[in-house]
Amino acid sequence: MRPLEGKVAVVAGATRGAGRGISTALGEAGATVYCTGRSVPGSPGMKGRPETIDETAALVTARGGRGIAVRVDHTVPDEVARLFERVGELDILVNDIWGGDDLVAWGKRLWETKLEDGLTLIDRAIKTHVITSYHGLPRIRRGGLVVEITDGDGYFYRGHFFYDLVKTTVIRMAFALSQELSGRGVTALAVTPGFLRSEWMLDHFGVTEANWRDAAKKVKPFIASETPLFVGRGIAALAADPNVAAKSGRVFASWDLGEEYGVTDADGTRPHFLRWTREHQPEVAAAWRKLDDAFYAYWTAMPYDMPG
């Protein structure tokens, strides 16, 4: 029997990237997966991208689960409410909505960006998560799991004000939800992929999954990249772990989940982006650690007790 057989999952933002990999991995484990997003045949949600939630649902089914595509704009509360009315009770909720690849002005500071783009990013990458949790959480069964997908498992600066804001906010959201859900026996946590070898990233570097290593000749860290399936398998392992409640409120990286649960990427390898960075770019890893240490020193110096 597959470990998630009989379980019902909703992956919000399942069209491509991590959302597609997570949906596929949950299908491998036997779950019924509602794959939501705006991209359907003939109506792409992201300009210039061909992927659809229908393709993702088909992959789920092909891997042994049951994939169900539902077009939902997660910025519209009524559409999200109808989604969960259709789903009914569920066991796993993954908030992976992003939609910001065309909004992040890399290399520019806050006052140099387009304010409307930044505010739109907040709508797409924070408000959508709030709306989805608001309607989905009351329907999660005891023993269920809520996962917020972020980028990075620390408090280092992520290179752009709005990007940093949304990615660290969803980590905090997972912590806050862990406090509110503890009495219901539902676990909430955040998960980050490593250097994600998504469809968009492959196109950006002008390579395919067959020759992706060629991109590492120009961008060295890409050699430590991972497919979206790797983080998905880590999340599937979390969902199947009877002791997952002990992890509630924390943030986990795909490479750590791979080590703990013994899961591998599509090619049988076990990528570890942080280890690669420590070995090949120690100055970068040291800078991350310095910022994290400073944050936690400030946190623990608070003159009152912090929950959790």
Q: Is 85 exposed, middle or buried (0-12, 13-18, 19+ CB in 10 A)?
A: exposed
Q: Find the range with the poorest average confidence among 101-115, 137-151, 254-268.
A: 101-115
Enumerate domains of the chain plus CATH numbers. Answer: 8-273 (3.40.50.720)
Per-residue pLDDT, averaged over 232-243, amounts to 98
Per-residue pLDDT, averaged over 148-172, amounts to 92
- 161-186, pLDDT tens digit by residue? 999 999 999 999 999 999 999 999 99
Contact status, residue 24 vs residue 2, Cβ threshold 8 Å = no
Bridging pattern class, strands 8-12 and 90-95: parallel
- 176-219, pLDDT tens digit by residue? 999 999 999 999 999 999 999 999 899 989 999 999 999 999 99
Q: What percent of the chain has pLDDT over 90?
A: 76
Give the pLDDT band (50/70/90) at residue 50.
Answer: confident
Give the pLDDT band (50/70/90) at residue 100.
Answer: confident
> In angstroms, what is the C-alpha Rg of the chain?
19
> What DSSP string describes 89-140?
SEEEEEE-----TTT--TT--GGGS-HHHHHHHHIIIIIHHHHHHHHHGGGE
